[in-house]
Structure 1
Amino acid sequence: MRISARTQYALRAATELAAAPPGPVPAEKIAVAQNIPRRFLDNILLQLRRAGLIHSQRGPDGGYWLARPAEEITLADVIMVVEGSPEHSAHGGYPGVAGPLADVWSALRAHEETLLTEITLAHIAKDSLP
């Protein structure tokens, strides 16, 4: 699985929100804490907000916060927003003795998906993987 820089930034920003005390967190604070270019972060936060994973508030006391408890937002939720549905290449099978490789790739994707749906932002923010 390849994780794009955009997806890594989104996961880092969401984790920053998960670890923050209650209340809005300014985008600038997230950008500085996670070393994410501000313009890039603004686009990511907009995407996460439109998907319903975070809320925002404008103004001097504004910022962003998670729309649900961190325990209810998985890494897969964030990845799906940024990357979209995973595209599984349709292997028509490999010839000869390499045939079983298609099953290996399928099993690997299934394990990745299972792991990403089990780990929540709370796990990452608290450094306590399941």
Structure 2
Amino acid sequence: MQISARSDYALRALIATAGFSPDGGPVSATKLAEAQAIPLGFLHDIMSDLRRAGLLTSQRGTDGGYALARPPSQITVGDVLRAINGALSTVRGLPPDKVDYHGVASGLPELWMTLHEAIAEVVDRTTLADLLPVQYRTNA
């Protein structure tokens, strides 16, 4: 599994959102970009994807910014990765259950599905709250 820059930035931005605003209030994109060294234009695009996926809300204005749509304990890494990338894993651009091999390689799809399921198990049980440093977990 390869973790794209978009996925890495998305997770970092959401964790920072939770950490900066344990009460759930909005955090500016500028503050998130500076804190996590994410290019601001790229961050806006990522945050739009996360908002469309229902993981963030946004508020305009001087007190505006982004806020988590649900508590950090209810947003999994899998939610974020799927919002950014679609599928968790692919084989040559296909979902692992859609690849087909012949002859001696016919067992490979089972391996790809096992790997996909292992990845899904880890990312679907890991929440943003799990990734927050201990001092930020009280309200997660």
Q: Which runs of 5+ in 1 are unaligned?
A: none
> Which aligned pairs between 1:13-28 and structure 2 lie closer than 5 A?
13-21=13-21, 22=23, 23-28=25-30
Partner of 2:117 in structure 1?
110
The residue type paired with residue 75 of structure 2 is I
> Could you tell me how far apart the structure 2 residues matched to 1:50 and 1:91 are?
30
1:77 paired with 2:79, answer: yes
> Could you tell me how far apart the structure 1 residues matched to 2:11 and 2:56 are?
12
1:95 paired with 2:103, answer: yes
For these two proteins, the number of residue pairs brought into alignment is: 127
**Identity across matched positions, percent:** 43
SS of 1:92's equivalent?
A: coil
Structure 1 length normalisation: TM-score? 0.87
Partner of 1:5 in structure 2?
5
SS of 2:110's equivalent?
A: helix
Structure 2 length normalisation: TM-score? 0.81
RMSD of equivalent CA atoms: 1.8
Partner of 1:30 in structure 2?
32
> Residue 94 of structure 1 contacts residue 101 of structure 1 at CA under 8 Å; is this kept in 2?
no
> Which aligned pairs between 1:60-71 and structure 2 lie closer than 5 A?
60-71=62-73
> Could you tell me how far apart the structure 1 residues matched to 2:123 and 2:40 are?
26
The residue type paired with residue 93 of structure 1 is Y
Partner of 1:124 in structure 2?
131
Q: Deviations for 1:40-95, whole angstroms, at most 9, x for unmatched residues?
A: 00111111112211111111111111010000000011111111134424332353
Runs of 4+ in 1 over 6 A off after TM superposition: none
> Could you tell me how far apart the structure 1 residues matched to 2:45 and 2:99 are?
34
SS of 1:56's equivalent?
A: strand
> Could you tell me how far apart the structure 1 residues matched to 2:16 and 2:64 are?
16
**Post-superposition offset of 1:123:** 0.5
**Post-superposition offset of 1:99:** 4.1
> Residue 49 of structure 1 contacts residue 56 of structure 1 at CA under 8 Å; is this kept in 2?
yes
